[in-house]
Amino acid sequence: MIKFIKRHINSLMWALIVMILCGAPSSSFPTVGFFNIPHLDKVVHLGLYVVFTLLILSETNTKRKIGGLDRKAIIISLSIAITYGLLIELMQLLLFESRGAEFWDFVANTVGATVAVLIYRLMNRLSNRLI
């Protein structure tokens, strides 16, 4: 178990950050006038899940050091990210007070996970195989 945690510490910590951000009351976030962009929250969801999925991919991809992408890593990463996105939305519906589940948030999470898979090789190359 400790080996698993050490290997996946980055994605586990990011998952915790996502849960805290998605569970916090929306009134706890400051409002800035020039950021009053319609549907900006969907872009935030997409970004959170791009990072989350990139981290999972990096931690599970056996071909990372040679710049490749293991099919198993793709399946695992997408499964975890999409399931987690659904669970967060269900928790917003059932557990987190002053938060509500939104179908389009789940869609943004799923699109973010998919974008991460599509850009992984580029990110791997740009980061000198760190990701």
> Model confidence over 108-127: pLDDT tens digits?
999 999 999 999 999 999 99
Kindly report, residue by residue over 6-46, the tens digit of the pLDDT.
999 999 999 999 999 999 887 666 666 656 667 788 999 99
Cα-Cα-Cα-Cα torsion 113, 116, 118, 119, nearest 10 degrees, comes to: 170
Residue 27 lies in a domain: yes
Residue 131 lies in a domain: no
Count the neighbouring beta carbons within 10 Å of the beta carbon of residue 73: 21
The overall average pLDDT reported for the chain is 91
Number of independent structural domains in the chain: 1
Residue 88 lies in a domain: yes
The least confident of 51-55, 86-90, 92-96, 112-116 is: 92-96
Residue 18 lies in a domain: yes
Judge whether residue 98 has pLDDT over 90: no
Residue 22 lies in a domain: yes
Mean per-residue pLDDT, 61-69 = 90
Residue 96 lies in a domain: yes
Distance CA 65, CA 61 (A): 9
Q: Comparing 30 with 106, which gets the higher pLDDT?
A: 106
Residue 10 lies in a domain: yes
Mean per-residue pLDDT, 83-88 = 97
Q: Which residue range is the domain that position 105 belongs to?
A: 2-126
* Cα angle: 122, vertex 108, 64; to 5 degrees: 25
Distances (CA, A) of 82 to 30, 35, 104: 28, 27, 13
The pLDDT assigned to 30 comes to: 66
Length in residues, the chain:
131
Mean per-residue pLDDT, 38-57 = 93
